[in-house]
Chain A
Amino acid sequence: MCIEFETPKPIAQQQYVLKTVAENMMRSVSREMDENEHAVPYGYIEFMHAAMKATGAGSLAPKSEKKEEDLNKPKRPPIGYQMLAHMLEMLSWGDVGMYLVTPGGGLGAAAVEAAATPEQKQKFLARFGEEKPTFAAMCMTEPGAGSDTSAIKTNAYLDEKTNEWVINGEKIFVTAGHKSMVPDECFGKGFIVVWASIDPSAGRAGMRGFVIEQGTPGATVTKLEHKMGIRASDTAAISLIDARVPYDHVLGNPTVEKQTEKGFKKAMATFDATRPLVAATGIGVARASLEFVKEKLAENGIEIRYGLPRNKLTSIERDVIDMEIMLRSSWLMVIKAVWMADNGKPNALESSMCKVKAGDVTTKITQKAVELMGPLGYSREFLLEKWFRDAKITDIYEGTGQINRLVVARQILGYSGRELR
């Protein structure tokens, strides 16, 4: 036990490699990907797939065999989530839109990882370690159900004759939904995890995740959204009309327990784990913007005089100093949240808190950066204006800033969802 802020060596080494990737495979095509919405960065995807296969980094594919443990070796504390947070931050520093099309299963695989049986994990996750890059997506949001997931209308019933689940509904804002569900000869066969109710009268207790494989009749991508930023990432609408999946494609207990919300809690558990990671992606974008600002100021002979009393600083100095404070403190909150996850400490509060902070900080920093750079900030000749557009999503997806405030408030007040709506 101690208080320490030393970046673990394996993470530092990984960061060194990822920076090269971010510079050479992401920044170099960043503008092109932004201008050609829905173009697929095949080069980046294939490179990342090969790299992740070789190192096992960032992939949720079950490890085939465990190495014999050397009992004499002192056990190191686990750093998996910390590593992932650093990885996502650096890749998002490269290009957050492209990072979102990193193969490996994304939120879909994370939902399986959080809620599935060992057999299901083997069945659904093994593909991510295979030859071709493969995608999976999570389908939660509906036209009438965003943050209020209890309003989900998509439903599933069991056809007892065929022992299949039959799913009907409409899902929107599905990140990587197209890559998961529409065949592409360069990619493996993906899937989506659809959250649906098996008993609408049971509210959240009736909610379950269902794995729907690519090619399932009735599950169709109907639209690709056009977005303010993160344009390299496909955001799909998926319609489900009598989509049938085998019985064992349901995640978690298939019977309704009216008194509990286990099924839904599993979905939420996915968010506890991924909120700090999403925060990390925003922070990567903010760091890119702040570095750009400092570089341009230096080029123009504008020095930031750290150490001066506040009332002696210029306006630009105050802004840059504030941006640094925001960036570093939010990043440390992310590190703490993932460190807790690695060490098996409940981190619902810290996860939501760092997401609240990162959502604020990334939007504020990128907005201020554009302001400070004048015409350079607004011009598409530089990437700064793109980072401003990319950043805003951080405060929206994986729970808006407001929903996360609600989660934080309930935690610090000891209130249930009923006591604080």
Chain B
Amino acid sequence: MYSFEPNEEQQMLLEAVGRFAANDLRPAGHDAEEEGTLPKKVVSKGWELGVLQASVPEAYGGFGERSAVTGVLALEEMAFGDLAGTLAVNVPSLFVTPILLVGSEEQKKEFIPPVIEMDWQPYTAALIEYALDFDPLELKTFAKAEGDGYILTGEKAFVPFAREAEAMLVYANLDGNTQGFIVPKTAAGLTVRSEAEKLMSLNALPTYRVSFEGVKVPKGNRLGGEAGHDFQPVLASMRLALAAMAVGVARAAFEYSRDYAKEREAFGVKIAQKQAIAFMLAEMATEIEAIRMLTWEAAWKMDTGAEDAFKDAYLAAVGAADMVMMVTDRAVQILGGYGYIREYPVEMWMRNGRGLATLVGLAIL
């Protein structure tokens, strides 16, 4: 059957996340971006909603089952509030979800409960590299088997909360395959730059360059155990997270500019009564809905194990990146000069929007 209604559990979660997005994330978002830091209590409150905890089975300290569909619903709703805040709240997922997806039984038992059962703590992951030809499937951080473990060499970029993180999942190129390695912050040879990355947006999310100079990783810390893992489900879940957040950011920009257009007068009418503006809004709403559907279907395919699920997640992410850019750009345009002024949130959403094509690996569901 086709059906387009979130189930009761999902609706309850959405209501809770929606309240948090509207009452906490959105009001904090502007100052957080300007001041470069997000209040810890907002992050903690978001964590306590239990989006990640609900996707982890009881055996590993959570209270539910993972569902990509629930994940995309929740991330859209949260990103509607604020993107940097959403990324910050969900940073521990970068560490937990890949272990849940493709980790060994021992790894799930050892590494997931300490993250899940506690207050928000910065466990993170390092995927992006600072190169214009960066490709998650052709990494330039290398892993080499040596002795009874692996040696990691290379440099990672945009690693959220790297300075504070207890441990991180580091993705490296092992014989041409992208493999994850669980690395504690105390590992010798791991250096986090003292200065945070300076990006076009997401100032409230501290991210760092991290270098690995011959970092030794014990055999048991290779994600999936000795045999390793398939990277595709991890990458697809990262892409879906981006797609869902793109829909959320786009919706924020669309609704804000729609409401503005209904207030602002020019030539004796509200500007929304001009077809030039009304048509822009109609197309924005249409594109948002199109990509939302694509994202939902890809998530549903992930949950049902459809064979083209990974490809669809890729298509959703590519489509979402274009969509969010188009929508946020138009939102700025509708506000005119005010759109360009940092007092209003739309220019930040436009800067956020461009990031969603690039920031694969900064979120996962």
Q: Which residues of A contact B (CB under 8 A)?
A: 1-8, 77, 79, 82, 306-312, 321-322, 324-325, 328-330, 332-333, 335-336, 339-340, 350, 353, 356-357, 402, 405-406, 408-410, 412-413, 415, 419-421
Q: Kindly identify which residue among A311, A322, A328 contacts B294, using a CB–CB cutoff of 8 Å.
A: A328
How many residues from B make CB contacts under 8 Å with A? 53
State the main secondary structure of chain B at its contact with A: helix
- In the complex, chain B residues whose CB is within 8 Å of the CB of A339: 2-4
B314: min CB distance to chain A, Å: 5
Inter-chain contact B281/A409, CB cutoff 8 Å: yes
Q: Kindly identify which residue among B273, B312, B357 contacts A310, using a CB–CB cutoff of 8 Å.
A: B357
- In the complex, chain B residues whose CB is within 8 Å of the CB of A408: 282, 285-286
Bound Cα distance A310, B134 (Å): 11
Q: List 5 A-B contacts (CB under 8 A).
A: A3-B296, A6-B1, A8-B2, A356-B286, A408-B285
Q: Which 9 A-B pairs have the closest CB atoms?
A: A332-B293, A329-B290, A409-B278, A325-B319, A408-B282, A409-B282, A1-B5, A405-B282, A4-B3
Contacts A310-B357, A329-B293, A357-B286 known; 18 new A-B pairs at CB < 8 A: A1-B11, A2-B6, A3-B5, A6-B1, A306-B314, A306-B315, A307-B310, A308-B137, A321-B318, A333-B293, A409-B272, A409-B278, A409-B281, A410-B278, A413-B262, A413-B272, A415-B273, A421-B273
Bound Cα distance A419, B134 (Å): 50
Inter-chain contact A332/B297, CB cutoff 8 Å: yes
- In the complex, chain A residues whose CB is within 8 Å of the CB of B315: 306, 321, 324-325, 328
- In the complex, chain B residues whose CB is within 8 Å of the CB of A409: 272, 275, 278-279, 281-282
B7 at the interface (CB under 8 A from A): yes
Bound Cα distance A357, B292 (Å): 14
Known contacts A356-B282, A420-B272: A308-B135 contact under CB 8 Å: yes
B8 at the interface (CB under 8 A from A): yes
Inter-chain contact B314/A307, CB cutoff 8 Å: yes
The tally of CB-CB contacts under 8 A between chains A and B is 144
Bound Cα distance A409, B283 (Å): 9
Q: Which residues of B contact A (CB under 8 A)?
A: 1-8, 10-11, 69, 73, 132-137, 235, 258, 261-262, 272-273, 275, 278-279, 281-283, 285-286, 289-291, 293-294, 296-297, 300-301, 304, 310-312, 314-316, 318-319, 321-322, 357
Q: Kindly identify which residue among B132, B135, B262, B296 contacts A5, using a CB–CB cutoff of 8 Å.
A: B296
Inter-chain contact A307/B311, CB cutoff 8 Å: yes
Inter-chain contact B258/A413, CB cutoff 8 Å: yes
Give the nearest-CB partner of A1 in chain B.
B5
A340: min CB distance to chain B, Å: 8
Bound Cα distance A308, B298 (Å): 18
Give the nearest-CB partner of B311 in chain A.
A306
Bound Cα distance A247, B362 (Å): 69
State the main secondary structure of chain A at its contact with B: helix
Inter-chain contact B278/A353, CB cutoff 8 Å: no
- In the complex, chain A residues whose CB is within 8 Å of the CB of B135: 308-309, 312
Give the nearest-CB partner of B132 in chain A.
A311
Inter-chain contact B137/A3, CB cutoff 8 Å: no
B225: min CB distance to chain A, Å: 25
- In the complex, chain A residues whose CB is within 8 Å of the CB of B132: 311
Bound Cα distance A91, B291 (Å): 26
Known contacts A306-B314, A332-B297, A413-B278: A419-B1 contact under CB 8 Å: no
- In the complex, chain A residues whose CB is within 8 Å of the CB of B311: 306-307
A195: min CB distance to chain B, Å: 25
Give the nearest-CB partner of B11 in chain A.
A1
A269: min CB distance to chain B, Å: 21
Give the nearest-CB partner of B360 in chain A.
A309
Bound Cα distance A82, B1 (Å): 10
A291: min CB distance to chain B, Å: 15
Give the nearest-CB partner of B67 in chain A.
A3
Known contacts A3-B300, A308-B135, A353-B289: A8-B1 contact under CB 8 Å: yes
Bound Cα distance A330, B291 (Å): 9
- In the complex, chain B residues whose CB is within 8 Å of the CB of A420: 272-273, 275, 278
Inter-chain contact B2/A5, CB cutoff 8 Å: yes
- In the complex, chain A residues whose CB is within 8 Å of the CB of B312: 328
A395: min CB distance to chain B, Å: 13
Give the nearest-CB partner of A328 in chain B.
B294
Q: Kindly identify which residue among B5, B282, B297, B357 contacts A2, using a CB–CB cutoff of 8 Å.
A: B5
Bound Cα distance A321, B290 (Å): 15
Q: Kindly identify which residue among B3, B283, B290 contacts A333, using a CB–CB cutoff of 8 Å.
A: B290
A304: min CB distance to chain B, Å: 10
